[in-house]
Amino acid sequence: MKINVGTTDRVLRISAGLALIVLAATGTVGAWGYIGIVPLLTGIFRFCPAYPLLGMNTCAMKDR
């Protein structure tokens, strides 16, 4: 797996993922909030499987 998630993208994914999981755990949103695991994991591993399909890459050239 090549790194294709940049630093800003990574921070946003981890933050959004954690927020969704917390909201789901506290009952603020329904069980669908646990979908936050997806952006959390893509942020942690710095790889998004949809990016190669879409021809995207938010990673800086020096990190590739």
For the stretch 48-57, pLDDT in tens is 999 999 999 9
pTM for the whole structure: 0.88
23-52 core/surface letters (b: 16 or more CB in 10 A; e: else): ebeeeebeeebeebeebbebbeebbbeebe
What is the average pLDDT across 42-47? 96
Q: Which pLDDT belongs to residue 17? A: 98
Q: Which pLDDT belongs to residue 61? A: 76
Q: Which pLDDT belongs to residue 5? A: 94
Q: For the segment 18-43, what is each residue's pLDDT rounded down to a tens digit?
A: 999 999 999 999 999 999 999 999 99
| CB of 58 closer than 8 Å to CB of 6 | yes
Q: Residues near 8 by Cβ (< 8 Å), separated by ≥ 6?
A: 58
